[in-house]
A and B are shown apart, each in its own frame.
Chain A
Amino acid sequence: MFREVVSQFRRPVMLYSIGKDSSVLLHLARKAFHPGPVPFPLLHIDTTWKFKEMIEFRDRICAELGLELLVHSNPEGLAAQINPFDHGSQTYTDIMKTDALKQALTQGNHDAAFGGARRDEERSRAKERIFSFRDANHRWDPKRQRPELWNLYNGKVSDGESIRVFPISNWTELDVWHYIHLEKIEIVPLYLAAPRPIVERDKNLIMVDDARFPLTPREQPRTRWVRFRTLGCYPLSGAIESMASTVPEVIQEMLLDRHSERQGRIIDHDQLASMEEKKREGYF
């Protein structure tokens, strides 16, 4: 898949969210071009609200592997001091993630962008293509998606248009974890349980990662053993209580648990089929 994209496109880029799916994606890319280097840059959309450990991890991995890293934040969003506390998760996500991503892709003139989305994550993604067509405004139009037969992927685009490529589209969450285990892929330690400072809001366990967290007078961070199933911006990522501190333990806990992966993501609860709306807008 990676080789196919590098052959078919002029300026591919890999969207790197620092999450476990991104780590798997990066690993696959390295394998595809071994013994050569990864022939495209990584793009990280930095909302400035990511966990500190994520940023450290990102910088260390890119330095160790000699990868080209592009980091973009929405300058207007920064100027307006958009944050998840004052503006709500919806507005914040639109501006700091979706808009920022569009800006970066347009500025970089990228005709293909790898992403780590999987069809099993959410109902509306079940129909997503592996090569997902985006118009010049980065919008996803269900009518213009191309039929995908066999493993022949049509990567033809006009100027400004692009393709989002999802190489692990057909993987399940278990596949991803299993692969991380088998290939000993390094992931951000936040995925493993450890004592962390936590406050509880609307039944979500939120980690107080820095001093920007506006604690109410009655809130007092408490140290609890937690891990994260998905990682994003710390104020929007709900943790779960856990003692699973190794990858096999995480897998074990996941298999015995009956909650789906995205449950900790606050944006999902906003509305029914919320992902689909976001996809149309250009969010991953």
Chain B
Amino acid sequence: MFERDPLIESDIAAYLDQRIQKDLVRFITCGSVDDGKSTLIGRLLHDSQLIADDHLETLKADSQLGVGNGDIDFSLVTDGLKAEREQGITIDVAYRYFATRHRNFIIADTPGHEQYTRNMATGASTADLAVILVDARKGVVQQTRRHSYIAVLLGVKHLVIAVNKMDLVDYSEDQFLEIIADYNKHSANLGIGSLEYIPISALHGDNVVEASAAMPWFSGQPLIDYLNAVNVTEPAKAVEFRLPIQLVLRSHADFRGYAGSITSGQVRPGDRVTALPSGISSTVERIVTFNGDLKVASAGDAVTLTLGDEIDMSRGDLLVKENGKVEFDASVEAMIIWMDEKPLALGEQLILQSHHGTANVTVDAIRYLLDVNTGKEAKTAVLQLNDIAHCAISADRKMLFESYETNRAGGSFILIDRVRNSTVAAGMISGPVSPWDQTPKDSLEVQASTIAAGERQIRYRQHPCTILLTGLTGAGKSTLATALERCLFDRGNSIVRLDGENVRLGISKDLGFTAVDRSENLRRVAEIAHLMNSQGLIAIAALVAPQANARARAQQLVGADQWIEVFLDTPLAVCRDRDTTGLYEAAERGDIEEFPGVSAAYEAPEDADLRLDTAGMTVDQCVNAIVELLIEKGFVDG
């Protein structure tokens, strides 16, 4: 019932020695109800000679009971629970095992029904690869997109699009090519690691194990050859040493071992390591196992380490290489898949369980609901079974975590209902809650002024507002801001000028120029402008502010009715020529990273209140245009 290797008969000892070397590949199969997924798996097992004779007899008997017409119904191989079998559908994740001469495989068979996102997510969470079935007659359908989306979301790197039922379209190459083109169009922005297309007929076995004689035009590999060859090892970059502590073993007075399974990287005796969250460092003394001490242990190994110093560590703590950094925070942003019949109630107490222990948490906000059919985001107040949404979660204590994208083990968690103990959601952390979204401490209150806004308007003879001058470096933001400030001052207005560069000399001197830091700089400026506006002053903010999303958040913070966005729309070449400080050259050399216009995007405003082409206008013309707009909107007198 296993693979046929001549060594089994001739030299069993040699066969067993060789078998130790085989690696394990886990994959999921997904498809719509009638795509023939179960048939494909049955076919894989049958053609690899993996179904035992007595199972085969049961199968033949069952095939007669059901739809059978004398042929073996391969789909019955994988259908397990009785009630489901009678309905002719599978409703859960079933695991199947088979081996070839090269590899051992675990298949997670996941159903394709509309309502079973959670099953597919379960299967995908441990899979290296996904086989997505497409019916050659129907082509790419909504479910195909959903399956692709969920697979990628759960971090599955390799996708195989198996175009099935080729026999029913006369093995047409054109049909196959059309499906490829269609899928390519839909999947362009998904972020799929590797993609393979194979035309098959699960019913007749074409291109499953044997190359198809009916499709001589197909030059690729049959499915099984692809599965044998595909490289699923993680790229070496994200493999820093991580050992979440499961248990501290104290078998006798002088033995203190830190036990757990290494989730990434390697460790050797003598390595310097740091315990998190305490931050205390020590040296690995021994890697203790039942079969003797090890010289090196790596990802997947269950080990017990002893350290040179007695460090106080407990379950949920993490050992990393010395000075390694992992996020430690009480609030996170995460994509969650709701898996319970009972909808999510915002603010309800739940238990979060991860490799770094458990914590009491609440889901504070649903940022957006993800439509897995289209990839579009939507607003929602509730999460129903099978919904996938980006959420903000806060815990009653700080937790260790990493982003799921960089580390599957460090970024995954489940949510548990406190009363029923059921697992209600699975989550993938994207990062800490952005400062834009953080909520201030509950104990804080606004200290109100006794001066009313109206009093300030009379005193200053103006309505406060914030003017954002945004554009590329060299567009003339600072020049224009200074001139505008002078002009308004001379007209008797009360203003405050917030130049990005000045801000970075003081309040933002801790920030760099990454996308995250630029966003934070804009947030701080917006907060200051907001304070100034509340004191009756007009604020002029001059910043590159390259991200549309961050500008929208700033507008929200200040208030849309007090916000004026002025886009200095100057051609890049002009900006570059004006640049006397050599910033563009430095960026082009790669000395400055993430420089908008060179190595990072400048997302031009689409609906700015005013667009000024500073290449074709004088400074005075620009100032006048802004002042006219202020008068028109009633912020200053004419």
Contact A158 B82 (CB under 8 A): no
B238-281 at interface with A (beta carbon < 8 Å): 246-247, 249-252, 255, 257, 259-260
Q: Which of A49-57, A73-81, A191-199, A253-261 contacts B (4 or more CB under 8 A)?
A: A253-261
Known: A124-B80, A170-B97, A259-B54. A152 touches B9 (CB 8 A): no
Residues of A near B391 (CB, < 8 A) are none
Binds A, one of B27-35, B160-168, B323-331, B412-420: B412-420
Counting chain B CB atoms within 10 Å of each CB, which of A3, A31, A248, A251 scores highest?
A3
Partner of B289, one of A7, A31, A142, A147: A31
CA distance A252 to B16 in the complex (A): 10
A96 and B179 alpha carbons, distance in the complex (Å): 58
A263 to B2, CA, bound (A): 16
B158 within 8 A of A: no
Chief secondary structure at chain A's binding surface: helix
A158 to B353, CA, bound (A): 17
Decide: A251 and B289 in contact? CB cutoff 8 A. Answer: no
- Closest Cβ–Cβ distance, residue B100 to chain A (whole Å): 13
Does A148 lie at the interface of the complex (its beta carbon under 8 Å from any beta carbon of B)? yes
Q: Would you call the interface of chain B mostly helix, strand, loop, or mixed? A: mixed
Are B289 and A34 interface neighbours, CB within 8 A? yes
A181 to B16, CA, bound (A): 9
| Interface of chain B residues 336 through 386 with chain A (CB within 8 A) | 339, 351, 353-355
Q: How far is the CA of A282 from the CA of B72 in the complex (A)?
A: 32
Closest A residue to B316 by CB, please name it: A7
Instruction: Say whether B126 contacts A150, CB under 8 Å.
Output: yes
Q: A263 and B54 in contact (CB under 8 A), knowing A35-B255, A150-B126, A152-B414?
A: yes
Q: Contacts A149-B121, A154-B416, A263-B54 hold; do A30 and B16 have CB atoms under 8 A apart?
A: no
Nearest CB on B from A180, distance (A): 11
Q: How many residues of B contact A (CB 8 A)?
A: 70
Q: Is B576 an interface residue (CB 8 A)?
A: no
When chains A and B are docked, how far (Å) is the Cα of A2 from the Cα of B290? 14
Complex alpha-carbon distance, A202 and B257, angstroms: 55
Per-residue interface assignment for chain A, residues 169 to 202, with 1 indicating a CB less than 8 Å from any chain B CB and 0 otherwise: 1101010001001110000000000000000000
- Chain B CB within 8 A of A266 CB: no
B596 vs chain A, min Cβ distance (A): 38
Q: Give the CA-CA distance A273 to B83 in the complex, in Å.
A: 10
Whether a CB of chain B sits under 8 angstroms from the CB of A216 is: no
Q: Are A3 and B259 in contact (CB under 8 A)?
A: yes
Interface stretch, picked from B87-95, B227-235, B541-549, is B87-95
- Distance A157 CA – B354 CA, assembled complex (angstroms): 17
A10 an interface residue at 8 Å Cβ cutoff? no
Contacts of B250 in A (CB 8 A): 36
Taking the closest CB of chain B, its distance from the CB of A235, in whole angstroms, is: 21
In Å, the complex CA distance between A148 and B94 comes to 12
- Give the residues from 139 to 156 in chain A that come closer than 8 angstroms, CB to CB, to chain B: 142, 144, 146-152, 154, 156
Residues of chain B having any CB pair with chain A under 8 Å: 1-2, 8-9, 12-13, 16, 19-20, 52-55, 58, 62, 77-82, 85, 92-97, 99, 104, 106, 109, 118-119, 121-122, 125-126, 246-247, 249-252, 255, 257, 259-260, 288-291, 302, 304, 315, 339, 351, 353-355, 408-409, 412-414, 416, 421-423, 426
Chain A interface residues toward B at CB < 8 A: 3-4, 6-7, 30-37, 119-120, 123-127, 142, 144, 146-152, 154, 156-158, 161, 169-170, 172, 174, 178, 181-183, 248-249, 251-252, 255-260, 263, 272-273, 276
Q: Can you report 27 residue pairs joining A to B where beta carbons are below 8 Å apart?
A: A3-B259, A7-B247, A31-B290, A33-B249, A119-B95, A120-B96, A125-B80, A127-B92, A147-B339, A147-B423, A147-B426, A149-B126, A149-B426, A152-B413, A154-B414, A161-B421, A174-B2, A178-B19, A248-B16, A252-B12, A255-B1, A259-B54, A260-B52, A260-B53, A263-B52, A273-B81, A276-B81
